[in-house]
Amino acid sequence: MGKYKGVNGSGSCSDCGAGTYLNVTGGSVCVGCPTNTDSLVAGDAITDCICNVGFEGSDGLACSACALGTYKE
């Protein structure tokens, strides 16, 4: 998981790029993280998508902007 192969034939699988994940084996397309989240390369679960700086919420879900007067690093 966290790897895909987008073409037929011989060759190896590639890591899903940052901001995507793949939680099944044998996948051909990585899935984009929810709104205002990002993941490292080779994410293998939606919970690898964490809120960006300035946004808050639960891992794997869309994140919302921090309230006025607050921040998140």
What value does the mean pLDDT of the chain take?
93
Task: Round to whole Å and give the CA distance between 58 and 26.
Answer: 28
pLDDT at 59: 94
What mean pLDDT do residues 53-58 have?
A: 96
Q: What is the pTM of this model?
A: 0.86
Flag whether pLDDT at 11 surpasses 90. no
Tell how far CA 67 is from the center of its chain: 24
